Amino acid sequence: MKQSTFMMLKPDAVKRGLVDPILSIFKENGYEIIRQKEVMVCRELILKHYEEVIQKVNQPYFQQAILDTFEGTKVIALEIAKEGEHVIEEVRTLVGATDPVKADPKSIRGRYIDDSLEVAMREKRTLRNLIHASDSLENAKLEMKLWFETF
Residues annotated as catalytic (active site), given as ranges: 132
DSSP characters over 109-148: HHHT----HHHHHHTTS----SEEE-SSHHHHHHHHIIII
Q: Are 7 and 133 in contact (CB under 8 A)?
A: yes
CA trace torsion 25, 77, 35, 148 (10° rounding)? 160
Question: Which residues make beta-bridge pairs with 74?
Answer: 40
- What are the angstrom distances between the C-alpha of 143 and each of 4, 69, 133? 12, 19, 10
